[in-house]
Every structure is written in structure tokens, then in C-alpha cells.
């Protein structure tokens, strides 16, 4: 597995990380715990060193899973987790009124202490603000994490779905190692100023949902249905009409994949990896064969001609459907 460094932070991780949320939250019923422990440990054997979780995933159960699985391998891995939601509110309530944010410094400290215990570790390698809290100045948030770094409880500070000015303000108080945003061939908003800002400041990018929450793998179509416990059931982009319209993007990936003797998922990930050397996608999976497929993307070299072909073809495709309902979209880009 190749390695990458996230910006100028010095934080070195595998070129492809593993998003752990779906193992216990968000995509229907949680997977079998022992099978997920085995999968996480196999990922380390395959060279993956970067694992992403959050207190709100469950809440708490995903951190506990990651902690149990990786405790024997702790020196070999980088674990990222997140703060910023009020976890006293059932996350299922997010669907209606939207989640309740809480990035007050005292809550950041409380989350850090609790996450350290669940993750069975003495230090959090990367601590993200999950969503920007408009009620707490970002300077106070950065200052709270700076204190935790001074105390040796956190190594690096990250932001998720933050706006450009927020990134600049936070970085001025405590250097931001990386920003985690959705980024893929079907969601390219980071190209509208964020990538340029991160490059200027020396900050890495960690794209979540690099496979479009599964859609870009080609494993679903307009006939696909989702259980109410699968959060895709509430996403505009996963209505039958939107999926039918967006099939053109999957067809494009399939065409390139056939030429490269690869899969659509591998081309989607290889495209991301080719954008910048400080980009580290974190696709999630609960299946060993998908893990191996994703890891295979790191070895695929896309030439400038390949990238030009993909970009030119993708520019002709209008992606249909919002990525989130309004209540959740309003939490991004602040």
C-alpha cells in the first residue's frame, strides 16, 4: 500500500483509508460485530493504516467497534474521530428537525475523554469538528483542540464540511491537518475554491463517500430500494428518477473500467487519487471483496489523457438530485 501525507501536517497514512460508519450505523441494520472486527484487522494486514469513525455513529457503537478491533494493532494505525453533535438526542431524530450541534469547548473536552476510552487509546490521532457550529466561534473550537493537543490527548485537528473562511480562521489558531468533505465524480463542489485554499494552506483533503454512497460502484439502479433504517432512503439523489438520470455517470466509469481491466469503483477512486497527492479517500464497506477491490484502485494509473477523457465526458452529464435534504445540507459549507 502506498502512503500519503496529509498536507504539511506530517500525518502519514495509507493512500486509501477505511470509513467505518457503515459497519454499525446509517446503512440499515448493523453488520455482525465479530465479522467487522475481522474485516478491520484484515484491512491492516492489507496495508490500510487510516480509519475513520465518530462518536455520533451509533452513537458510540462504531467507536467501540473500532477501538476493540484495532487495540492490538494500535501502533500501526491512525484513528480519526469527530465531535460536534449533541449525542443526548437520538440521531434518528436528525431526519426530521435536523441534528443538534454542540461544539462548546467543555463539550469538545468531554467528547475527547469519552472517545479515548471507547477507542481504547491514550491519544486521538485526528480529531475533527464534525459540522461547524454557528453558535461557537471557530477560534474557540480551534483553541479547545489546541489545548487537547498540548496535553497530549490529540495529535492533529481536522474540520468536516467547513466553508473556506472557517478553514482559514481555524487554521490561524491551530493548524488544520485536513478537511473531510464529500468529493467524488458526482459531487465536485470542493473544486470551487476549497481545493485551491487547501493547497495554499498546506492542508490535506479526506473525501468521504468517494463512491457516491455506493452508487458509483454500479451495484444499484432505479429499481433499487432502501430500508427505512438506511439513510439513503431520505436522500433526494437516491430517488428512482435521480438514479435513472445519474446512471450515465456509472456508464462512463464502466467504459473507462473496461479499457483499464478494472471496476467502476476502482476508476472512481483512482480518479480521486489522481487529483492531488494530498487527497486520501475513505471508502466504507462491510465486505472483504469490496475492501480488496477498493485497495486495488491504488495501483491504477490514470494518464493525463485518461483524466481529460473522464472530465470531458463527465462535464456533459448533469447529476440529478440534491445530496442531502435541506436540513442536513444547511449544516455544510459554513
The residues annotated with a catalytic role in the active site are: 57
The whole-angstrom separation of Cα 282 and Cα 12 is 14
> Under a CB-based contact definition with an 8 Å cutoff, are residues 2 and 196 in contact?
no
Our CA angle for 58, 85, 129, nearest 5°, is 105
Residues 6+ apart with CB under 8 A from 314: 185, 249, 252
Handedness of CA 103, 78, 182, 162 (dihedral sign): positive
Our CA angle for 249, 269, 181, nearest 5°, is 90
> Under a CB-based contact definition with an 8 Å cutoff, are residues 233 and 221 in contact?
no
Lookup result for grid cell 465531535: 83
> Under a CB-based contact definition with an 8 Å cutoff, are residues 73 and 41 in contact?
yes
3 state SS of 271: helix
Amino acid at each position: 500500500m502506498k502512503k500519503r501525507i496529509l498536507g504539511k501536517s506530517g500525518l502519514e497514512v495509507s493512500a486509501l483509508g477505511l470509513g467505518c460508519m457503515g459497519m454499525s450505523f446509517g446503512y440499515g441494520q448493523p453488520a455482525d460485530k465479530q465479522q467487522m472486527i475481522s474485516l478491520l484487522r484484515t484491512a491492516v494486514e492489507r496495508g490500510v493504516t487510516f480509519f475513520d469513525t465518530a462518536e455520533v455513529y451509533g452513537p458510540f457503537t462504531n467507536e467501540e467497534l473500532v477501538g476493540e478491533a484495532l487495540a492490538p494493532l494500535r501502533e500501526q494505525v491512525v484513528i480519526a474521530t469527530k465531535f460536534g453533535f449533541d449525542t443526548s438526542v437520538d440521531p434518528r431524530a436528525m431526519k426530521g428537525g435536523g441534528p443538534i450541534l454542540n461544539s462548546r469547548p467543555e463539550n469538545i473536552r468531554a467528547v475527547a475523554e469519552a472517545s479515548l476510552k471507547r477507542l481504547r487509546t491514550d491519544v486521538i490521532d485526528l480529531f475533527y469538528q464534525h459540522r461547524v457550529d454557528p453558535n461557537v466561534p471557530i477560534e474557540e473550537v480551534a483553541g479547545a483542540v489546541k489545548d487537547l493537543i498540548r496535553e497530549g490527548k490529540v495529535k492533529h485537528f481536522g474540520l468536516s464540511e467547513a466553508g473556506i473562511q472557517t478553514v482559514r480562521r481555524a487554521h490561524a489558531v491551530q493548524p488544520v491537518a485536513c478537511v473531510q468533505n464529500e468529493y467524488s465524480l458526482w459531487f465536485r463542489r470542493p473544486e470551487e475554491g476549497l481545493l485551491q485554499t487547501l493547497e495554499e494552506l498546506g492542508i490535506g483533503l479526506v473525501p468521504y463517500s468517494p463512491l457516491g454512497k455506493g452508487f458509483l460502484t454500479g451495484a444499484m439502479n432505479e429499481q433499487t430500494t432502501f430500508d427505512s433504517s438506511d439513510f439513503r432512503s431520505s436522500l433526494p439523489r437516491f430517488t428512482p428518477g435521480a438514479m435513472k438520470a445519474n446512471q450515465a455517470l456509472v456508464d462512463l466509469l464502466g467504459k473507462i473500467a473496461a479499457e483499464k481491466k478494472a471496476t467502476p469503483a476502482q476508476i472512481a477512486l483512482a480518479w480521486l487519487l489522481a487529483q492531488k497527492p494530498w487527497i486520501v479517500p475513505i471508502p466504507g464497506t462491510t465486505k472483504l471483496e469490496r475492501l480488496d477491490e477498493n485497495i486495488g484502485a491504488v495501483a491504477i494509473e490514470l494518464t493525463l489523457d485518461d483524466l481529460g477523457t473522464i472530465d470531458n465526458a463527465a462535464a456533459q452529464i448533469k447529476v440529478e438530485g440534491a445530496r442531502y435534504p435541506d436540513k442536513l445540507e444547511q449544516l455544510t459549507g459554513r
